[in-house]
Amino acid sequence: MATTGTSSMHAGEPDVEIIDSIAALRAWRQRAREQQKDVGFVPTMGALHEGHLDLVRESLRGNQLTVVSIFVNPAQFAPHEDLATYPRTLESDLRLLRGLSVNVPRTPTTDTETRKPSAVFIPPVKDMYPSGITTNVAEQRGAFVQVKGLEEEMEGKSRPGFFRGVATVVLKLFNAVEPTNAYFGQKDIQQGLLLRRLTSDLLLSHPAPENLHIVPTHRDSTSGLALSSRNMYLTETERTWAPTLWRALQAGKKKWEEIMQAETDPNSTTIVKGARDRVVNAATEVIQTAVGESEKEGVSIRPDYIQLNWTDTFEVIGDVDKKEVLSEGTRGVILSGALWVGRTRLIDNIILGHPKVVKQIIS
C-alpha cells in the first residue's frame, strides 16, 4: 500500500507520494490515465547524486507527472559483486527529490508552472521477483529477459549476466509504470542503447523506443569525473586519481579526430587501417602513465578495458571507413572504458561520429 503522502495529481501544494507496492502504483497510474496526464519515469538504484537529478529534471520538463523508482536490483549483481554493500541512502534520496523542482512555461500563456516529482516507487524484492531471486544465475527461477548479441559485448564481457538482470528489471518497471517517456544517463551508454533495442524488439508502447531518452553524463566541474553512486567508495586520495579514465578517453577522442581529419588521397580508399588500435593506444598510454605515478601515493590503478564499438551492434570496430562515420544517417562509435581505482570500478564513454548521429543517440 502507499504510505502517507499527497499525490501530485491532487489539489494544493504537491508532495512526493511514496508508493511501495505494484498494486498501489497501478492505482496511481490509472488516475493519471483518467486525467490524461503523461508520465515520465526515471529508474534508479538510489544513492542519488546530481546525475540522477539531471534525469529527473529532464522528466519534469517533458512530462506533467514524474515517477522515480528506487530499487537495488539483485539480478544484475554477480555473487562476488557488491550487492550487500551497495550504498543505500533512502532518507537522503527522498530529501533530494522533495527539494527538486523546475519551472515550465504554460502554453499558450506566458505563465510558468512549477513541477516537482510526483511519486517515488520503492518496491520490495518480493514484488519485483515473485518467484524469488538469487545472484547466482544458474539457480534463478522465473521469467528473465535477454537481448542476445548485444548483452555479451563491452560491459557484458567483464560482467556476464549483468544485462540479463538489467533488461529483466527494467522491463518489469516499464510494465508497472507504463511511462510515456523514460530517462537514462549516458554514463551507462550500453544500458540505454540496449534498452532501446528491447523496447523496439518487444513492441513496447510505454515507452516507445523514440521516447527512451539518454541524457548527457553529469561531471565534476573541475576534474570531469563522471558522477556515480559508486564514487562514494573512493578514498580522498583515490578520488584525485579517479578522473584518469576520463582523461584517457579524451586522449583517445583527440587521436580519433586527428585520424578523421587527416587528408585522404582522392584516388585512394577512405578506409583507415588500424584506426581502432591507434585510438585505444592513445587512451591506454594515459592510464599507463597514471599507474606508475599513482603507486607513489599508494593508490592502485588497474585498467579493465578501453574499446571502440559500434553504437548499433556493440561489436568492436576494426578498420574505419570514413564515409561510414562522418556522413549523416550513418552509425556512431562508442569510445568507452572501465578502470579500477583501488576497489572501485569506474566506467565512462564518449560518442564519436557525425554530430547529427550523436544527437540522435544522446537525446
Q: What pLDDT, in 10s, does the model give residues 294-307?
A: 999 999 999 999 99
| Of the ranges 221-230, 264-273, 320-329, the best mean pLDDT one | 221-230
- Pairing assessment for the beta strands 320-321 and 271-272 based on DSSP bridges: antiparallel
Q: What are phi and psi of 178, to 5 degrees?
A: 50, 60
Where are the alpha helices (H) located in the chain, listed in sequence order? 22-34, 50-62, 90-98, 125-128, 155-158, 162-177, 189-201, 236-241, 244-261, 275-295, 322-326, 355-361
Contact 348, 223 (CB under 8 A): no
pLDDT of residue 264: 61
pLDDT of residue 2: 41
pLDDT of residue 265: 55
Mean pLDDT of 200-214: 98
Contact 120, 16 (CB under 8 A): yes
| CATH 3.40.50.620 domain span(s) along the chain | 17-215
pLDDT digits (tens, 9 = 90+) for 151-167: 999 999 999 999 999 99
Rounded to the nearest angstrom, the gap between the alpha carbon of residue 342 and the centroid of all alpha carbons in its chain is: 23
Neighbours of 2 (CB within 10 A): 17
Helix 162-177, helix 189-201: angle, nearest 10: 60
Contact 279, 256 (CB under 8 A): yes
pLDDT of residue 173: 98
Mean pLDDT of 213-242: 96
Question: Residue 241 corresponds to which cell in the numbers above?
Answer: 586519481
Q: Whose CA is closest to 30, among 81, 65, 61?
A: 65
Judged by average pLDDT, the poorest of 17-26, 194-203, 221-230, 262-271 is 262-271
What letter represents residue 97's amino acid? Answer: L
How much of the chain exceeds pLDDT 70, in percent?
A: 94
Mean pLDDT of 46-70: 98
Residue 9 pLDDT level (bands cut at 50, 70, 90): very low
Q: What are phi and psi of 286, to 5 degrees?
A: -65, -45
pLDDT of residue 14: 58
- pLDDT above 90 (res 106): no
pLDDT of residue 320: 86
- pLDDT above 70 (res 268): no
pLDDT of residue 7: 41
Task: Give me Rg for the CA atoms of the chain.
Answer: 22
Q: Which residues are catalytic?
A: 52
pLDDT of residue 239: 97
Domain 17-215 has CATH 3.40.50.2000: no
- Cis omega (within 30 of 0) on the bond before 207? yes
Contact 307, 249 (CB under 8 A): no
How much of the chain exceeds pLDDT 90, in percent?
A: 85
Residue 272 pLDDT level (bands cut at 50, 70, 90): confident
Rounded Cα–Cα distance for residues 312 and 302 (Å): 28
Contact 249, 350 (CB under 8 A): yes
Contact 176, 147 (CB under 8 A): no
Q: What are phi and psi of 110, to 5 degrees?
A: -95, 5
- pLDDT above 70 (res 231): yes
pLDDT of residue 330: 85
Mean pLDDT of 15-27: 96
DSSP type of residue 89: -
- pLDDT above 60 (res 62): yes
Rounded Cα–Cα distance for residues 133 and 72 (Å): 12
pLDDT of residue 12: 43
pLDDT of residue 309: 96
pLDDT of residue 263: 60
Residue with cell 579526430: 257
- pLDDT above 90 (res 318): no
- pLDDT above 50 (res 244): yes
Question: Residue 358 corresponds to which cell in the numbers above?
Answer: 550523436
Q: Dump strand ranges (E) for 4-158.
A: 17-19, 39-44, 65-70, 102-105, 112-115, 119-121
The overall average pLDDT reported for the chain is: 92
pLDDT of residue 273: 86
Q: Three-state SS across 195-223?
A: HHHHHHHCCCCCCCHHHEEEECCCECCCC
Exposure on the CB side of residue 51, measured as CA atoms within 13 A: 26
- pLDDT above 70 (res 3): no
| CATH 3.30.1300.10 domain span(s) along the chain | 229-262+269-362
pLDDT digits (tens, 9 = 90+) for 79-97: 999 899 999 999 999 999 9
CATH no. for 229-262+269-362:
3.30.1300.10
Query: Would you state the torsion angle of the CA atoms of residues 158, 162, 167, 172, taken in this order, to the nearest 10 degrees?
Result: -170
Question: Residue 88 corresponds to which cell in the numbers above?
Answer: 543505500
pLDDT digits (tens, 9 = 90+) for 329-360: 788 999 999 999 999 999 999 999 999 999 99
